[in-house]
Chain A
């Protein structure tokens, strides 16, 4: 069975600072994908970034990067130059490459950016 662990219930960061949100995962599958989603207070789920288990380079999407350490089974999200609009819940999720892209989510981290 797959499991995602996010150990930071809440994070407080000053605007313009970089922030790292932790995510560790557990799976016995060799082929899997790791995702980060943002959920603002309005409730929608916004896809941020994806990392495949066989990707050699860390994924980047604008201010978001995924620090993928396969041996440690970690997939931390790094947000550079944080903005007030980054305040939201952030979820790490995993899928395995077997048929449908069923996602297993962590419990989330609430990020608050202070001005």
Chain B
């Protein structure tokens, strides 16, 4: 069982560049989430999805976009990268009626 797979694990971007962080889960979870973790801080919700075709904003959505065309995939798009987006990004998934998430291992992004 792979669980939640995030790629890449590390990435350095230049200011103004764009990229997509990939997230795939093989547990048939309905719910998927993207969080960011700034140094020394807790996680903050960027976007979430309750099913294919349905996405919604979290606490810190500015500068990001998501899509959910399948149950398995939930990519996060960064447009016009800024230094403030330097962070560790976690993807997670869960069932609607069960407690707890499965987290991916994270993507460490640096914008220079």
A-side interface residues toward B, CB under 8 Å? 4, 33, 35, 43-45, 47, 50, 52, 91, 93, 99-108
Contacts and interface: CB of A to CB of B under 8 A. Distances in A.
Interface of B: 31, 33, 35, 40-45, 48-50, 56, 58-59, 88, 90, 92, 94, 96, 99-101, 103, 105-106, 108
Q: Which of B45, B94, B99, B108 gathers the greatest number of chain A CB atoms within 10 Å?
A: B99
B76 to A, nearest CB: 16
A100 B50 contact: yes
In order of increasing CB-CB distance, the 4 nearest A-B pairs are A105-B42, A45-B103, A105-B43, A50-B99
A29 to B, nearest CB: 16
A2 to B, nearest CB: 10
Which secondary structure characterizes the binding site on chain B? strand
Nearest to B51: A100
Contact of B33 (A102, A104, A106): A102
10 contacts: A47-B100, A50-B99, A93-B43, A100-B48, A100-B50, A100-B56, A101-B31, A101-B94, A102-B45, A103-B35
Contacts of B40: 107-108
Contacts of A103: 33, 35, 43, 45, 101
Nearest to B59: A104
Contacts of A91: 42-43
